[in-house]
């Protein structure tokens, strides 16, 4: 009975993690849409909503602390709870990057975008897929999926480099485009960092399952 109760508590934390991942993905998608539409009101809503994601992080961490204090987890259970806390930290940082994109949308004011957004929304969608799939892999402790998700980071990196080179060309050809080009570089960099955070989660999954330490 004690073991079943502990497992139910763990499943409760997992449910909260999935909910937080959904909140983060919504912030990422929403921030890019706000930028694409130069929707200042929507961007400000996303910035304000970041506080709820922060609260979700602390709520989950408090649940983990309660598990430490009341359930005395050992071995694999202990590693899983520690991993929960690492995961929520990465998710909260992803939300910060989404908030950064929303702030850029606000900074843009009514200045037209330098160019139509094509690759940036593609980056955002890839990041959101990575988040969802990494949470599923975490819950099922699927090492193979975790490694496959890490490979998706290369897609995001390639898009980032493509965007950077294109925007650099704009700046070299016309100095008046520099500010707007830099804004879009900042946006793509935030998305690239989100994918890196997902990679951190996947590296944690590999370690949980196999004990192998990977990464730089």
Residue 216 lies in a domain: no
pLDDT band at 181 (very low <50, low <70, confident <90, very high): very high
- The confidence score (pLDDT) of residue 2 equals 64
Residue 215 lies in a domain: no
Residue 158 lies in a domain: yes
- The confidence score (pLDDT) of residue 43 equals 97
- The confidence score (pLDDT) of residue 67 equals 85
pLDDT band at 28 (very low <50, low <70, confident <90, very high): very high
Q: Indicate if the pLDDT at residue 1 is higher than 60.
A: no
Closest CA to 3 of 81, 85, 77: 77
The whole domain housing 17 covers 2-210
- The confidence score (pLDDT) of residue 216 equals 62
What digits encode the pLDDT tens for the residues 133-143?
A: 999 999 999 99
Domain containing residue 195: CATH number? 1.20.58.220
Q: Indicate if the pLDDT at residue 74 is higher than 80.
A: no
What digits encode the pLDDT tens for the residues 99-147?
A: 999 999 999 978 999 999 999 999 999 999 999 999 999 999 999 999 9
If one counts the domains in the chain, the total is 1
Q: Which of 42-56, 80-94, 187-201 has the lowest mean pLDDT?
A: 80-94
**pLDDT average, residue stretch 72-89:** 83
């Amino acid at each position: 009975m004690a073991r079943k109760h502990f497992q139910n508590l763990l499943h409760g934390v997992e449910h909260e993690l999935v909910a937080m991942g959904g909140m983060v993905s919504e912030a990422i998608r929403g921030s890019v849409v706000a930028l694409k539409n130069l929707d200042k009101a929507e961007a400000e809503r996303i910035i304000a909503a970041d506080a709820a994601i922060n609260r979700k992080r602390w709520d989950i961490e408090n649940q983990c602390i309660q598990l430490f204090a009341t359930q005395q987890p050992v071995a694999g259970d202990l590693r899983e709870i520690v991993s929960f806390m690492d995961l929520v930290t990465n998710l909260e940082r992803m939300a910060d990057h989404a908030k950064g994109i929303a702030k850029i949308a606000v900074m843009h004011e009514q200045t037209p975008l330098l160019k139509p957004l094509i690759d940036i929304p593609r980056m955002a969608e890839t990041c959101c897929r990575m988040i969802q799939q990494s949470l599923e892999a975490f819950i099922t402790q699927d090492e193979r999926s975790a490694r496959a998700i890490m490979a998706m980071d290369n897609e995001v990196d390639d898009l980032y480099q493509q965007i950077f080179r294109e925007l650099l060309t704009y700046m070299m050809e016309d100095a008046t485009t520099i500010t707007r080009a830099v804004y879009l570089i900042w946006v793509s960099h935030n998305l690239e960092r989100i994918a890196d955070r997902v990679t951190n989660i996947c590296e944690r999954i590999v370690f949980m399952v196999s004990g192998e330490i990977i990464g730089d």
